[in-house]
Amino acid sequence: MNESRAELSEHPGLDAEQPAVRVRGLVKRFGEVEAVRGIDLDVAPGETFGFLGPNGAGKSTTINILCTLAEATSGTAEVAGLDVVRDRAAVRRRIGLVFQEPTLDNYLSGEQNLRFHGELYGVDRTTAAARREVVLKMVGLWERRKDEVNKYSGGMRRRLEIARGLLHSPSVLFLDEPTIGLDPQTRKSIWAYLSELHRTEKTTVFVTTHYMDEAENCDRIAIMNEGRIVALDTPDRLKAGVGNDRVQITTSDDAEALARLRDRFGLEAGVHEGMVTVSVPDGAGFVPRLFTELGVEIRSVTVQRPTLDDVFLAHTGSTIRDAEAGAGPSAFAVMARRGR
């Protein structure tokens, strides 16, 4: 987006020489389907960059192109200043990859997996041994390094994959949904390791997720929807940009509540996650009015300051959970768009 491009130069990390990731006019078609519809992107060195969007938004396709695993239909992509098509092998040496699906050899020990990786990436042996210790200690697996991966929990395997992705000191670490399928506590610990990494290694991190709470940990985030980047900024600014509070109520008659909100309050509400949802500038002040004037029995009320969920909603027309469930744009979204 144009305004986000202007915003780039203001970002503290971005005065640096060349961007860690640079994408221009990227398009990827699979037959009839246009998965990526022309995106531009710059990620600064050392930045933790979140790439958000529902399943099928084009995130994985984009990340695959950046990792040299897929070729773009048109447009260019550079990683660490190298073209992903022309300098494929050189790009591969400079990136670390953590995929959605596991890619470990479960019959080898954690350390053997890392040793294998170091050899494949041509890291010299002395460096590799030192790096193994650093990365295994960083993800808290040093004590368990001799155990077969079989004996690791899901969270430990994920951590091992992250450690492995860092073994060859990549310029950019790509993580595609690194916390998918993990319990909340493990998700939290993965992010703790990622921020530790950010502090100690200064590696650029490019991470896709569809957990909005996780995106808060990123320096900047891009929201992708239906093949386009619909928002790109720091989480705080994105939230400030949405402005309104979100009020969600459960009622005895949602349809009636929607109608009255429209007629009496002039508000376009929608039903999200089973609750009548409306966006207002001052949520706390709106609630008393709601009780006196709505005329439909209200069973519960929640008022939320804007979150990244709201940012997502405002830009894509659905909450990420709706989007996951395959729901289309709602009345609320139409309003949110108009209000932008």
Partner 1 sequence: MSTAPAEVAPTRVPTFDLRHEVRAAKVVWQRELIRFGKDRYRMVSSLVQPLLFLLVLGVGLGSLVGSGAGPGGGSVKFTAFLFPGVLAMSVGFTAAFSGISMVWDREFGFLREMLVAPVSTTAIITGKCFGGATVSTVQSVVLLALAGLVGVPYSPVMMLELIGLLFLCSFMIVAFGLVLAARVKQVQSAFPLVQMIITPMIFLSGALFPLSSLPGWLTALTHLNPMTYAVEPMRSVVFDHLNADAATRARFDPGIVWGGWHVPLWAQVGVVALGSIALLFAAVARFARTE
Please report, as ranges, the residues that interact with partner 1 according to CB under 8 A: 16-18, 20, 45-46, 67-69, 80-82, 87, 89-90, 92-94, 97, 99, 101-108, 112, 115-117, 119-124, 127, 131, 168-171, 202-204
**CB-nearer residue toward partner 1: 103 or 302:** 103
Q: What DSSP string runs through 34-71? A: EEEEEEEEEE-TT-EEEEE--TTSSHHHHHHHHTTSS-
User: What residue has token string 């670390």?
Assistant: 96
The least distance separating partner 1 from the CB of residue 105, rounded to whole angstroms, comes to: 5
The least distance separating partner 1 from the CB of residue 282, rounded to whole angstroms, comes to: 45
**CB-nearer residue toward partner 1: 115 or 321:** 115
The least distance separating partner 1 from the CB of residue 24, rounded to whole angstroms, comes to: 17
**CB-nearer residue toward partner 1: 111 or 268:** 111
Half-sphere exposure of 86 (CA within 13 A, CB side): 7
Query: Counting beta carbons within 10 angstroms of the beta carbon of residue 184, is it exposed (0 to 12), middle (13 to 18) or buried (19 or more)?
Result: exposed
Helix orientation angle between 308-316 and 331-338, rounded to the nearest 10 degrees: 90
The least distance separating partner 1 from the CB of residue 111, rounded to whole angstroms, comes to: 12
The least distance separating partner 1 from the CB of residue 137, rounded to whole angstroms, comes to: 17
Q: Could you give the CA distance from residue 89 to residue 42 in angstroms, rounded to a whole number?
A: 21
**CB-nearer residue toward partner 1: 26 or 205:** 205
Q: Determine which helix (DSSP H) or strand (DSSP E) holds 91, and give its type and residue range.
A: helix 88-94
Q: Which two tokens stand for residue 36?
A: 């990526």
**CB-nearer residue toward partner 1: 105 or 196:** 105
